[in-house]
Amino acid sequence: MTAADDCVFCRIVEGELPARTVAERDGAMAFLDANPLARGHTLVIPTAHHQHLQELDGHSAHALYELLHDLVAVVEESVGADASNVAFNNGPAAGQEVPHVHGHIIPRFEDDGGNPIHAVAGTPPELSDEELDDIAADIADRA
Ligand code: AMP
Ligand code: ZN
């Protein structure tokens, strides 16, 4: 799928909605988040419409990661950040609101009062060594 008419990020890609674009590449682009969680909060998207990371073809996946990789240091330096959280909400149950793949680059500052990425999930499960072994084996079988 290349574009979805009702997708706000596809409309940005098509130039139908304004955005504070910071980079454009073949297959990916980046713009400031309209509701920034920090100065410089940037979204990096594949230009093709897909909701989930696992649906991207190789070209989109590479373009997305390459732009994300290129921009992390640039964004941090531009706003004088000490670090950043780089994350995807991959599906509605994980908090994804815009159904077009996007990576968040959220600049972080010493003592900004925020949390590490460990804070995003629910109550941690209590897993035995056997259960952990089973999970690892199942993932390894499918990988
Ligand atoms: P998520 O919960 O990961 O789907 O986050 C969607 C993000 O997109 C939010 O941080 C919104 O502030 C941001 N957003 C929504 N619409 C726009 C827009 N038109 N331009 C820029 N950012 C947007
Ligand atoms: Zn889209």
- Closest ligand 1 atom, CA of 97? 4
Q: Which residues contact 55 (CB under 8 A, 6 or more apart)?
A: 101
Q: Report if residue 35 sits inside a domain.
A: yes
Answer yes or no: are the C-beta atoms of 50 and 32 closer than 8 Å.
Answer: no
> Does residue 3 lie in a domain region?
no
CA of 9 to the centre of ligand 2 (A): 5
Q: 85: closest CA among 100, 99, 68, 97? A: 68
The answer to whether the CB of 49 falls within 8 A of the CB of 57 is no
Task: Calculate Rg over the CA atoms of the chain.
Answer: 17
Number of domains in the chain: 1
Q: Which residue range is the domain that position 49 belongs to? A: 8-142
pLDDT at residue number 3: 80
In a domain, 53, yes or no: yes
Mean pLDDT over 87-110 rounds to 98
Tell which atom from ligand 1 comes closest to the C-alpha of 104.
Answer: 3
Calculate the CA 75 to chain-centre distance: 14
Query: Does a structural domain hold residue 1?
Result: no
How many Cβ atoms are within 10 Å of 78's Cβ, its own excluded?
A: 14
Distance, in Å, from the CA atom of 92 to the CA atom of 127, rounded to the nearest integer, reads 25
pLDDT reported for residue 2: 67
> What are the pLDDT digits (tens) for 32-70?
999 999 999 999 999 999 999 999 999 999 999 999 999
The answer to whether residue 102 is catalytic is yes
Instruction: Give the separation between CA 139 and CA 118, rounded to whole angstroms.
Output: 21
In a domain, 82, yes or no: yes
User: Would you say 63 and 28 are in contact if contact means Cβ atoms under 8 Å apart?
Assistant: yes
Tens digit of pLDDT for each residue in 105-123?
A: 999 999 999 999 999 999 9
In degrees and rounded to multiples of 5, residue 77 shows phi and psi of: -65, -35
The per-residue pLDDT of the chain, averaged, comes to 96
- Is 36 part of a structural domain of the chain? yes
Q: How far is the CA of 85 from the centre of ligand 2 (A)?
A: 23
Atom of ligand 1 nearest to the CA of 98: 4
**CB of residue 33 inside a 6 A radius of ligand 1:** yes
Residue 2 domain-assigned? Answer: no
Confidence of residue 1 (pLDDT cuts 50, 70, 90): low
Which residue carries 């941690």 as its tokens? 124
CATH of the domain at 107: 3.30.428.10
The helix/strand/coil state of 29 is strand
Catalytic residue among 41, 49, 100, 102: 102
Ligand 2 centroid–CA 10 distance in Å is: 4
Q: Indicate which ligand has the atom closest to the C-alpha of 10.
A: 2
Residue range 18-45: mean pLDDT, rounded: 98
Tokens matching residue 8:
């706000």
The neighbourhood of ligand 2, an ion, using CB within 5 A, equals: 4, 7, 9-10, 49, 100
